[in-house]
């Protein structure tokens, strides 16, 4: 009996290893999984941030470097999620979004990856 249990566990463990793989999100997945919720993460330069994505396309955020800030989110028809934080040429961009549990991944159009973030359901307490 213990041998059968050990074999069963050995067969299941490799399957669980793949359960955490990032899966690309469709626009519908992003609407239901991200909009109305918050993301907590760090920028490539290491600045910690928290952002909340409102249903009306607004972003409210806060970071250690910038303090409180606002932006806008949108979706492109090709499935990219876009962010705009100002009027400059480099104040926004679009990314492919993926998810594994509460980890949200961002991949630029050129295939390079941005640091991932953690999904927090609802409005993050730091933004209330």
Cα 100 to Cα 84: distance, rounded to the nearest angstrom: 25
Tokens of 121: 């359901």
In a domain, 33, yes or no: yes
The residue-averaged pLDDT of 11-35 equals 75
Tens digit of pLDDT for each residue in 64-119?
999 999 999 999 999 999 999 999 988 999 999 999 999 999 999 999 999 999 99
DSSP class of residue 26 equals P
Residue 121 — φ and ψ, nearest 5°? -70, 130
In a domain, 55, yes or no: yes
In a domain, 12, yes or no: no
Residue 3 pLDDT greater than 50, yes or no? no
The CATH number assigned to the domain holding 78 equals: 2.40.128.640
- pLDDT: is 17 or 122 the higher one? 122
Q: Please give the sequence-ordered ranges of beta strands (E in DSSP) within 2-128, or none if there are none.
A: 23-24, 38-42, 48-53, 58-63, 67-75, 81-84, 92-100, 103-108, 113-120
In a domain, 3, yes or no: no
Cα 27 to Cα 40: distance, rounded to the nearest angstrom: 20
Question: Structure pTM?
Answer: 0.82
Beta bridge partners of 102: none
Give the chain's domain count: 1
In a domain, 94, yes or no: yes
Q: Which domain holds residue 71?
A: 21-127
The answer to whether the beta carbons of residues 50 and 38 sit under 8 Å apart is yes
In a domain, 62, yes or no: yes
In a domain, 58, yes or no: yes
Tokens of 29: 């997945």
Query: What pLDDT is recorded for position 38?
Result: 98
DSSP class of residue 78 equals T
């Amino acid at each position: 009996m213990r041998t059968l249990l050990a074999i069963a566990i050995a067969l299941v463990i490799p399957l669980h290893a793949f359960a955490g793989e990032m899966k690309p999100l469709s626009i519908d997945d992003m609407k239901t999984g991200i909009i109305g919720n918050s993301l907590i993460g760090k920028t490539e330069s290491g600045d910690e941030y928290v952002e909340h994505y409102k249903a009306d396309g607004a972003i409210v955020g806060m970071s250690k470097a910038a303090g409180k800030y606002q932006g806008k989110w949108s979706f492109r028809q090709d499935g990219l999620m876009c962010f705009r934080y100002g009027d400059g040429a480099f104040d926004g961009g679009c990314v492919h979004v993926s998810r594994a549990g509460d980890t949200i991944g961002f991949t630029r159009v050129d295939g390079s990856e941005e640091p991932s973030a953690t999904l927090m359901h609802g409005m993050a307490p730091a933004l209330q």
